[in-house]
A and B are shown apart, each in its own frame.
Chain A
Amino acid sequence: GAVVSQHPSRVICKSGTSVKIECRSLDFQATTMFWYRQFPKQSLMLMATSNEGSKATYEQGVEKDKFLINHASLTLSTLTVTSAHPEDSSFYICSAPQTSGRANEQFFGPGTRLTVL
């Protein structure tokens, strides 16, 4: 199946710094990618839909100035957590759909664990 990678897998940063997380589709092109956030022992919460060549669409309650999304190419979307604070500590997961494959199948990255001190 298709592969989605994320980098870094784990990051620890100081409060007030910005952190960039990359999501790449390795063997297929993705005009759309999705960013999720997962708190411990909880479900995935969709944060935003990343659209190649245009602005991301954010879910209600998600601050777009806090979580900057850039989808600069058909294989790369980045999520930048700006001025991170401890409450931003979470597991961030991206996904990309491959519509040429099985019905509406999405492929998930392995996730990035962010810890803000």
Chain B
Amino acid sequence: GEDVEQSLFLSVREGDSSVINCTYTDSSSTYLYWYKQEPGAGLQLLTYIFSNMDMKQDQRLTVLLNKKDKHLSLRIADTQTGDSAIYFCAETLSGGYNKLIFGAGTRLAVHP
């Protein structure tokens, strides 16, 4: 079945890089996404990657996709306190038009 897994918590020092990892089980994933959720708010799309890509960079964000291992990561360079939030990875499946399957979310805490 469809399953997306993430580690639940990550703590980093301000200015360091953060790496949030995600694994998924369905090889028919078409797009993989990273969303950010701040307390009490909805989700904000940070970036996405198409399943035939290995890497995508967008300013401080770098997404790496290892399709063979079904592993997705999000690297945030120069992490700031404003980056503290919950980060969800999600996938859409071929044939499942726009249906998103979410991981449990990784809570990122940035400390001075």
Residues of A within 8 A of B (CB): 4, 6, 32, 34, 41-44, 46, 49, 93, 95, 97, 99, 102-111, 113
Contacts and interface: CB of A to CB of B under 8 A. Distances in A.
A104 B92 contact: yes
Contact of A102 (B40, B48, B102): B48
Contacts, number: 55
A111 B98 contact: no
B45 A106 contact: yes
B85 interface: no
A32 B30 CA distance: 19
Interface of B: 30-31, 35, 40-45, 48, 50, 88, 92, 97-105, 107
Contact of B41 (A41, A97, A105, A110): A110
Given A43-B102, A104-B98, 4 more contacts: A32-B97, A42-B105, A44-B43, A111-B40
Contact of A111 (B35, B42, B88, B97): B42
Given A106-B45, A110-B42, A34 B98 contact: yes
B99 A105 contact: no
A105 B88 contact: no
Nearest to A103: B31
Contacts of B44: 108
A113 B44 CA distance: 18
Contacts of A97: 98
Contact of A106 (B40, B50, B98): B98
A43 B40 contact: no
A34 B99 CA distance: 8
A43 B48 contact: no
Given A103-B50, A111-B42, A44 B102 contact: yes
